[in-house]
Chain A
Amino acid sequence: METFYDVQARYDWETVRKQIYACTPADVERALEKERITMDDFAALVSPAAAGYMKEMAAKSYAVTRRRFGNVIQMYVPLYLSNFCSNQCVYCGFNCSNKIHRVVLNEDEIRREAEAIRRKYKFQHILLVTGESPAKASVEYMGRAIEIMKEYFSQVSLEVQPLEADEYRYLMDRGLHAVYVYQETYNEARYPVYHLKGKKRNFRYRLETPDRLGEAGMYKIGLGNLIGLEDWRTEAFFMSLHLRYLETQYWQSKYCFAFPRLRPYAGEGAFNPNYPAGEKELLQLICAYRLLSEDLELSISTRESSVYRDKIMPFGVTTMSAGSKTMPGGYADEDDTELEQFAINDDRTPAQVEAAVRAKGFDPVWKDWSLYLQESCIGNAR
């Protein structure tokens, strides 16, 4: 069976990059006039030529988002279960060569975290995160964690190592709703430069993960690339191509994009992005994604600053996290920041973010799912 790997093989990175950089203002204007854009139009919208049309793009993105999603922002919180990882990715704090204290939460600790979140905050959607270490955080371990979460939350998502389709089905039977798996870069030739060791070195297996998720019938599939590794405009083109492929192939799944952005960093031994994108570029990207697909969820994490998150909130974003702790055990024990995966730039409390969302005229939605709507949970759902 053909997968996205075969689809992508028909494109050449350098040719696509040149096409994007050759786009003209006329191409951008044509794209902005359409109700449904083509991949060529998308290339124009992420091109340097679109920089002069930011207000038009933002206005259209705003209108489309409001019509489709309404005046609401969905809220979720990540819960880190483990920071063990068998991969060596040059940009990540969980990198197996980093000498950090490694933790994997046991069932009691997981429960304590869930209780702490429910006691302090309004979140009903939870994202479980682990490093990629099947030995420390197995599929069975995740299944158990999901079952615990069901007692406290109404929607459970996962961001872990890529799994097999039958493993995804096993987790869906336990109540899993969505899976986020980030390709990091769609540039196959450059991929090994960033992924030095571990199972993650297998570009193709990772790229075909959304195919396996679609096959398993996952409700929502999240895609992302790490902005800064390679040319972000070309990355955006390939991720959009991926979306268009998945939408027709697995038409019953919802899709969500994330756009984690690497920032230049002065610290010793720190990874510095080769192709940094600024805040204006990130807004351009968000608007282009919105004009690509009206129903695509767009999620912005606490990697971005509070000022920036507030400013761009109306222009396409549908989903936000708040109060995130990226170290295992961080909600029950708030003083421990030693084990963070990446630096949080929006450290406001969920209540402060809620107030900021309301100040923009939007309703923060904490609950947009009931587990009993999921066939696999019938009989045992909260």
Chain B
Amino acid sequence: MKPLKIADKTFTSRLFVGTGKFGSNDLMREAVAASGSQLVTVALKRVEIENENDDLLAHLKLPGVNLLPNTSGVRNAKEAVFAAQLAREALQTNWLKLEIHPDPRYLLPDPVETLRATEELVRLGFVVMPYIQADPVLCKRLEEAGAACVMPLGAPIGSNKGLATREFLRIIIEQSNVPVVVDAGIGAPSHAAEAMEMGADAVLVNTAIAVSENPAEMARAFRMAVEAGRMAREAKLAPVISGAQASSPVTPFLNDLNDLL
């Protein structure tokens, strides 16, 4: 499997995981370790960034694991930029998962504020990973603004509905010059494998692991699915053939070409 490069970092794991919703910080730590993930998101609202002994952060001190602070809770670009600067200083990382979802119901991202914040944060030297709607044009705009990758959603956060935005993800993957990380909605390892087979560069999973009855085991399952999907992609999937090919209206026309070809 080819490693994945985002900004200045190289990842051998293409599974990123979230740290919310776990029944305890111990379960969370076990699951993160089992996932093999090298990039884990942490909600700034959940941690005391100025407290060195913050329990959640302490549980994430694992070899090879990089923190990716997220701005969940902010409503606009101004708030996101401010929070990002505090996080950079306290957590010593310029990586940021940009989340601006002013709608608390479905937690859907605000495209206008996200683009605005990305422009500003890139200017300030951040590695910006924006969470966004599966909107191909918006993805190109974010790429032009200097986003390190794009993180389109498969389905609303926490819905476990899989790749409901499949057709748009396909276009995004086809057009993107930066890595595409499918985020949100991935509820089963098969969804993750499907995203990887489609050509996504990585996936981000949280709820499906955190609320399963055995989070560590589920994390392992996702790890394997992501690897399987990526391997299949690199080995090139055989095309899907629909129906038999014996004869079709085009056959005589093709036969006419025999002399020519």
B23 and A295 form a contact (CB under 8 A)? no
Q: Distance (Å) between the CB of A291 and the closest chain B CB?
A: 15
Please count how many residues in chain A sit with their CB below 8 Å of the partner chain's CB atoms: 28
Chain B contact patch, size range: 20 to 34
B79 and A378 form a contact (CB under 8 A)? yes
Tell which of B41-49, B116-124, B128-136, B252-260 binds the partner.
Answer: B41-49
**Is A12 on the interface with B (CB-CB < 8 A)?**
no
**Is B2 on the interface with A (CB-CB < 8 A)?**
no
CB-CB under 8 A for A365 and B46, given A252-B75, A372-B86, A375-B78:
yes
**Is B111 on the interface with A (CB-CB < 8 A)?**
no
A67 and B158 form a contact (CB under 8 A)? yes
Complex alpha-carbon distance, A254 and B73, angstroms? 11
CB-CB under 8 A for A372 and B158, given A71-B23, A247-B105, A363-B25:
no
Interface centre among B44, B71, B76, B211 (most CB of A within 10 A): B211
Question: Which residues on the B side are within 8 Å of A368 (C-beta)?
Answer: 45-46
Complex alpha-carbon distance, A318 and B45, angstroms? 17
A69 and B21 form a contact (CB under 8 A)? yes
Question: Which residues on the B side are within 8 Å of A69 (C-beta)?
Answer: 21
Cβ-closest chain A residue relative to B28: A363
Complex alpha-carbon distance, A71 and B215, angstroms? 11
**Is A345 on the interface with B (CB-CB < 8 A)?**
no
**Is A97 on the interface with B (CB-CB < 8 A)?**
no
A254 and B44 form a contact (CB under 8 A)? no
Complex alpha-carbon distance, A327 and B47, angstroms? 31
Q: Which B residues from 28 to 50 make CB contacts under 8 A with A?
A: 44-49
Complex alpha-carbon distance, A131 and B79, angstroms? 34
Q: Could you tell me the dominant secondary structure of chain B's interface residues?
A: loop
**Is B207 on the interface with A (CB-CB < 8 A)?**
yes
Cβ-closest chain A residue relative to B213: A361
CB-CB under 8 A for A375 and B75, given A71-B211, A363-B23, A370-B45:
yes
Q: Distance (Å) between the CB of A154 and the closest chain B CB?
A: 8
**Is A239 on the interface with B (CB-CB < 8 A)?**
no
A252 and B102 form a contact (CB under 8 A)? yes
CB-CB under 8 A for A68 and B158, given A252-B103, A369-B45, A373-B83:
yes
Give the total number of A-B pairs whose CB atoms are below 8 A apart. Answer: 76
**Is A374 on the interface with B (CB-CB < 8 A)?**
yes
Cβ-closest chain A residue relative to B210: A70
Question: Which residues on the B side are within 8 Å of A66 (C-beta)?
Answer: 211
CB-CB under 8 A for A373 and B22, given A70-B211, A378-B78:
no
**Is A72 on the interface with B (CB-CB < 8 A)?**
yes
CB-CB under 8 A for A71 and B210, given A369-B45, A372-B86, A373-B74:
yes
**Is A341 on the interface with B (CB-CB < 8 A)?**
no
Q: Which A residues from 42 to 71 make CB contacts under 8 A with B?
A: 66-71
Q: Distance (Å) between the CB of A152 and the closest chain B CB?
A: 13
Q: Distance (Å) between the CB of A123 and the closest chain B CB?
A: 13
Complex alpha-carbon distance, A72 and B46, angstroms? 12
**Is A3 on the interface with B (CB-CB < 8 A)?**
no
**Is B242 on the interface with A (CB-CB < 8 A)?**
no
**Is A358 on the interface with B (CB-CB < 8 A)?**
yes
B79 and A374 form a contact (CB under 8 A)? yes
**Is B104 on the interface with A (CB-CB < 8 A)?**
yes
Known A-B contacts: A70-B210, A252-B75, A252-B104. Give 17 more (CB < 8 A): A67-B159, A69-B21, A70-B20, A70-B22, A70-B211, A72-B22, A154-B48, A247-B105, A358-B24, A361-B23, A363-B22, A367-B47, A367-B48, A368-B45, A369-B73, A373-B79, A375-B75
24 A-B residue pairs with CB within 8 Å: A67-B158, A67-B160, A67-B207, A68-B158, A70-B22, A71-B22, A72-B22, A251-B105, A252-B102, A252-B104, A295-B104, A361-B23, A363-B22, A370-B49, A370-B73, A372-B82, A372-B83, A372-B86, A373-B45, A373-B83, A375-B75, A375-B78, A375-B79, A378-B79
The 7 nearest A-B residue pairs measured at CB: A70-B21, A71-B23, A254-B104, A373-B73, A66-B211, A361-B23, A378-B82
